[in-house]
Structure 1
Amino acid sequence: MSDFNERDKELLEKFGMTEEQVSSDVERMESEDAGHGITGPIYYGLHMLPKRDERMVTVTIKMPESQLEQVTAAAKRYHISRSEYIRRHLTNA
């Protein structure tokens, strides 16, 4: 049985694609470690380790409680820790 409805099938025909092509593409895109160059591997926890064997240090910052709530919510959306979320933003600062 097909996972595609009639509208899906019309679009596939319009773009010259098959259901098998789409299913294959979905499988490749949803893979967390595929080397297809479109998405990267998914890392959980601390993964922005220093390039060298450099020791990690702790930095304490103060921020308004409402800002901390925003940081926490954003980190949860990305399934990463608050520390990792803040590190990523500091890297791009």
Structure 2
Amino acid sequence: MDLLGALSSDHEGPDVPPCSRKGCTAHAAWQVKWNNPKIHPPERRKVWLACDDHREWLENFLKARLFWRSTEPMNTTAGETEVRL
């Protein structure tokens, strides 16, 4: 494995980003949008990406903390999804 080659600016990420659930490498199919009302303005949306298997788990985690705002299908068109992890 070429560590320097993997870190170069020429290296592009995956066409479909992975799920945000720790340890999951499945392709994301959903955008789970959330914010923390104590520190984020109401219009701010952070995004976790979810595969089909982890969508409900991530939503329930955020709902328990009153952070969940919406879940939308993943738009795989480049440049149309802003992701903040």
TM-score range, shorter chain: under 0.3
Higher relative contact order (CA 8 A, sep 6+): 2
Structure with higher helix content: 1
Structure with higher strand content: 2
What TM-score, normalized to structure 1? Answer: 0.24
What TM-score, normalized to structure 2? Answer: 0.26
